[in-house]
Chain A
Amino acid sequence: NFMLTQPHSVSGSPGKTVTISCTRSSGNIASTYVQWHQQRPGSAPTNVIYEDNRRPFGVPDRFSGSLVSSSNSASLTISGLKTEDEADYYCQSYDNVNHLWVFGGGTKLTVL
């Protein structure tokens, strides 16, 4: 089984840009899609990125996803930060050898 490692926390000021990384421990990050979920305090998660870089309907284009092959990682970038973006963010990918879903440990985004 592989693991997905995220930074515990990141922060940014309103209007600025932050990037959250998600590093895969083994196997190629590009071998299965990466998803990103946002979880505001006291709420259920909501999907903000699927298939590495696609946004569900209704998610603003301030949210973007990408893969960084050199570090075997995925990234979630949020531009034009708003206070409403303050939340926990989780990356997710599929282990198609063992047939299980893997979540990263989550990153707490603080908008200062």
Chain B
Amino acid sequence: EVQLVESGGGLVKPGASLRLSCAVSGITFGSYSMNWVRQAPGKGLEWVSSISASSSNIYYGDSVKGRFTVSRDNAKSLLYLQMHSLRAEDTAVYYCARELLSFDYWGQGTLVTVSS
């Protein structure tokens, strides 16, 4: 069974940093590109970042570029999202998703709340 489990969310103050993790099992993690997608409360889906299988290609959405860094550890089947300079508008549920023809597997998400 394929499982993606996000962790690391929580309540932080504006300007703080936070690192999210996504633990993946049931697939050969190192063979696939991975993505982060977020969803602000009551809003739609917003793509955040993607990272290729070997980490050679990394891309970010305009709203997080320069503040967020995606990385992965293929030996541990872990995907990360390091977030700096957090803003109120970064408040959202953050999902990790495997990319194979589409985003075919999604985690259940972890909530990040940025508030003073």
List A residues at the B interface (Cβ < 8 Å): 33, 35, 37, 39, 43-47, 50-51, 54, 56, 88, 90, 92, 99-106
Contact = CB atoms under 8 A, between A and B. Distances in A.
The interface residues of chain B, by DSSP majority, are classed as strand
A100 B108 CA distance: 22
Interface in B14-73: 35, 37, 44-47, 50, 57, 59-61
A106 B60 CA distance: 21
B104 A50 contact: yes
B102 A92 contact: yes
Contact of B59 (A37, A50, A99): A99
The interface residues of chain A, by DSSP majority, are classed as strand
Contacts of A39: 45
Most buried by B among A35, A37, A106: A37
Given A44-B109, A99-B59, A101-B35, A35 B103 contact: yes
Contact of A37 (B35, B45, B50): B45
B47 A45 contact: no
Contacts of B45: 37, 39, 45, 90, 92, 103, 106
Most buried by B among A33, A92, A101: A101
Contacts of B106: 44-46
Given A88-B44, A103-B46, 10 more contacts: A43-B108, A45-B37, A45-B45, A50-B101, A54-B101, A56-B102, A99-B59, A100-B50, A100-B61, A103-B47
A37 B95 CA distance: 14
